[in-house]
Amino acid sequence: MRVALCQFNMAWEDWRSNLRRAEQWVARADADLVILPEMFATGFVTDPERVAQPMSGEIVGEMQRWARRYGRAVAGSVIIEEGGRFFNRFLFVYPAGEIVQSDKRHLFSIGGEGKSFVAGDRRTIVEYGGLRFLLLVCYDLRFPVWSRCRNDYDAVIYVASWPESRRTVWRTLLRARAIENEAYVLGVNRTGSDPTAHYSGDSAAVGFRGETLTEAGAEETLLTVDLDPEALHAFREKFPAWRDADRFELHV
DSSP per residue, 70-136: HTSEEEEEEEEEETTEEEEEEEEE-TTS-EEEEE-SS--GGGTHHHHBPPP-S--EEEETTEEEEEE
Catalytic residue of the set 104, 113, 149, 182: 104
* Helix and strand element counts for the chain (H, E): 6, 14
Greatest pairwise CA separation for the chain in angstroms: 52
Compute the average pLDDT of residues 174-187.
98
Q: What is the pLDDT of residues 181-226, one digit of tens each?
A: 999 999 999 999 999 999 999 999 999 999 999 999 999 999 999 9
Q: What is the pLDDT of residues 122-151, one digit of tens each?
A: 999 999 999 999 999 999 999 999 999 989
How confident is residue 175, by pLDDT bands cut at 50, 70 and 90? very high
Q: Per-residue pLDDT for 248 more than 90? A: no
How confident is residue 156, by pLDDT bands cut at 50, 70 and 90? very high
Question: What is the model's pLDDT at position 249?
Answer: 84
Q: Per-residue pLDDT for 252 more than 80? A: no
What domains, with CATH codes, occur in the chain? 2-244 (3.60.110.10)
CB of 207 closer than 8 Å to CB of 177: no
Catalytic residue of the set 38, 62, 113, 182: 38
Question: What is the model's pLDDT at position 99?
Answer: 98
Question: What is the model's pLDDT at position 247?
Answer: 85
Residue 50 per-residue DSSP state: G
Catalytic residue of the set 6, 62, 138, 149: 138
Phi, psi of 19 (to 5 degrees): -65, -40
User: Catalytic site residue 104?
Assistant: yes
**Distance between CA atoms of residues 241 and 18, nearest Å:** 42
How confident is residue 79, by pLDDT bands cut at 50, 70 and 90? very high
Compute the average pLDDT of residues 33-60.
97
Q: What is the rounded average pLDDT for all residues in the chain?
A: 97
The SS3 assignment for 193 reads: strand
User: Catalytic site residue 238?
Assistant: no
